Amino acid sequence: MAATCPSPLKGSVLVIIFHDICEEIRLGELRQILDAKQTEPVFKHPMPEYVRFENPPVIETLDPILLSSGERLHPQVKYYDYGVVSVLMELSFEGDWQSLADLAAKWVPSVELERHAEELVRRRVQKLSAAIIRPYSHWLEEDYYVFLLNEVQGRPLGAELLKEHGSQIAQIVSGERSELAQAEIDDVLQGSLSYYPNDLIVIGWNASLVYDTPSGAATSVQILEYVNSQLLEFRHYDELLTKELASVHGSLKHRGGFLKRWQMRGEASRLNGVTVEVTELVERSDIAIKFVSDMFSARLYRLAATKVGVPDYQNLVNEKLKIAEGLYRFLIEEFDQSRGFVLELMIVIILVIELIFLFRGKGL
């Protein structure tokens, strides 16, 4: 009987789907509703000392989800205090590079998994509504995929893996069925990082490949989760400011009448309120996680944030905040001019009345 050849690759695929559901989740009340204590991450090892959340998210493990393919996934739900809920599902993998590339092309993205995740979150939101502050009618969504390689035949170093299988890694991270052009491969592989010689992470805008032990990969996965939740928050702020600025610009187009100008105070107050709210929310999400003493985690965060587009959306939000502040000052000036005109008009009317009474008195 012929011996069975070991699989070249062993690991798992993590599918993480994020929803921005509300302005805030009160995690203390959420723990009481769930009767939940602080839960360990999915990989069942202590959280690294150098990665700390200001307000650690609440983690909940739910019943398995059955896919149309017959596969069972065990979803883990994570609740962040800034209103984002993530659903993590893990699928074990064993095979060769081509089968992993096929799997990536199949799951990146997956409409079925997105549907399951949204249905799951909506069911949880109904149960946990007491802890949810100012829920949104429209949810923004992000999805991210992490391909974990725990065992690779021959146990190559990270640099060797990148050299020998760079084109396949780029294909997997990109979710493409066909081999990529060399320029595209080089661009994808620029997002690579190693801490030890025998580990590797390659980060793309929608997926990453992590070559590490399950415990060693935990920090990378946690940072990738946080970065994508942050991206979702900035997308929300960008949409909120876009709508508010469009509303103000629409009002300015029809500001010709005196009464319309007098109403600018209300427009200014509302715009200022939104600006202050967004500024506070940005600061809260920006300091949600701290890297206390580990430079590698900070480098990983910066690389992941750049790859998924967090700085781009952050710059957009900051630019719109500046525009909003400028509009606020303009609206206040418009209101002040209208108020000054009213005061001057009142003074003139009073003077005219006094003059009328003065001349009428002389006529008598």
Query: What digits encode the pLDDT tens for the residues 150-163?
Result: 999 889 999 999 99
pLDDT of residue 68: 81
Confidence of residue 43 (pLDDT cuts 50, 70, 90): very low
Segment 198-223 shows an average pLDDT of: 90
Does residue 4 fall inside a structural domain? no
Does residue 221 fall inside a structural domain? no
Amino acid identity at 135:
P
Segment 172-197 shows an average pLDDT of: 88
* Residue 17 clears pLDDT 90, i.e. is over it: yes
**Tens of pLDDT along 137-151?**
899 999 999 999 999
**What gap in Å lies between CA 206 and CA 324, rounded to an integer?**
31
Structure tokens at 335: 């209101």
**What gap in Å lies between CA 32 and CA 23, rounded to an integer?**
20
pLDDT of residue 6: 61
Is 94 in the same domain as 240? Answer: no
Structure tokens at 249: 């610009």
Is 187 in the same domain as 313? Answer: no
Does residue 274 fall inside a structural domain? yes
Task: For the chain, give the percent of residues with pLDDT over 90.
Answer: 28
Is 206 in the same domain as 254? Answer: no
pLDDT of residue 346: 74
In the three-class reduction of DSSP (H, G, I as helix; E, B as strand; rest coil), residue 75 is classed as coil
Of 46 and 248, more confident: 248
Round the average pLDDT of the chain to a whole number and report it.
79
Q: Report the range of poorest mean pLDDT among 70-79, 86-95, 169-178, 277-286.
A: 277-286
Are the C-beta atoms of 215 and 43 separated by less than 8 Å? yes
Confidence of residue 287 (pLDDT cuts 50, 70, 90): low
* Residue 46 clears pLDDT 90, i.e. is over it: no
Are the C-beta atoms of 175 and 208 separated by less than 8 Å? no
* Residue 132 clears pLDDT 50, i.e. is over it: yes
| Residue 233 structural domain | 226-356
**What gap in Å lies between CA 140 and CA 84, rounded to an integer?**
10
**CA proximity to 114, closest of 234, 17, 7:** 17
* Residue 118 clears pLDDT 50, i.e. is over it: yes
pLDDT of residue 37: 47
Does residue 3 fall inside a structural domain? no
Total structural domains within the chain? 2
pLDDT of residue 140: 93
Residues 6+ apart with CB under 8 A from 209: 146, 147, 149, 169, 172, 173, 200, 201, 202
Is 163 in the same domain as 81? Answer: yes
CB atoms within 10 A of CB 191: 18
Confidence of residue 228 (pLDDT cuts 50, 70, 90): very high
Is 161 in the same domain as 34? Answer: yes
- Its pTM stands at 0.79
Is 94 in the same domain as 144? Answer: yes
Is 189 in the same domain as 52? Answer: yes
Is 239 in the same domain as 180? Answer: no
Confidence of residue 7 (pLDDT cuts 50, 70, 90): low
Is 186 in the same domain as 262? Answer: no
